[in-house]
Amino acid sequence: MIFENMGFYFREALLSFRRSALMSIATILSTTTILIIVGMFLLISLNSNLFLENLESQLEIIVYLKDNISKVELNTLEGNFNSIGEIKEAKFVSKEEAYQRLSKDLGEQKDILSAIEVNPLPASFEIQVKDPKMIEQIANQIAKFEKVEEVEYGRETAERLLNFT
């Protein structure tokens, strides 16, 4: 019974399509076009959201340390960072590692560094936060710690990104 009704509906649809072929083609084309446009907007929306989430996850705070810091003070400072609940990870970067990274980033132009006799780069911490919206408050809190020379987190970029999301 159901299949008989289905056959009837298909026959009627084909007859209707033959009677007004131009209108049927126009309807099919407009529906297809609308579905393609909606699909493209969904795809763009999903990709832009994923892109923004990826950018948010890459926000980090760089904490430059004073030169005269001892191992004990370094461990204390790292403990202070880890005691802040909103910090996901605090990675120490020594002066030597910072120099090697700069050398690698310069690529073929790393010869400029040979003119420098003493490593001018400070030791630092690279800090990942759990909630990017808290980055400014965390940076301000870290800036108050002893032996912290400077705190950098790309304030303007972070604010624009967080306002956009």
Both 101 and 145 in one domain: the answer is yes
Sign of CA dihedral 138, 143, 144, 146: positive
The domain containing residue 15 runs over which residues? 2-52
- Is 59 in contact with 158 (CB distance < 8 Å)? yes
pTM of structure: 0.65
Q: How many domains does the chain have?
A: 2
Residue 159: pLDDT above 70?
Answer: no
The domain boundary residue, chosen from 52, 69, 91: 52
Both 116 and 78 in one domain: the answer is yes
Both 103 and 124 in one domain: the answer is yes
The per-residue pLDDT for range 35-53, each reduced to its tens digit, is 999 999 999 999 988 988 8
Amino acid, res. 62: I
The per-residue pLDDT for range 99-127, each reduced to its tens digit, is 888 888 887 777 777 777 788 889 899 99
Both 106 and 135 in one domain: the answer is yes
- Residue 34 dihedral angles phi and psi, to the nearest 5°: -65, -40
Residue 60, exposed/middle/buried by CB under 10 A (0-12, 13-18, 19+)? buried
Both 64 and 129 in one domain: the answer is yes
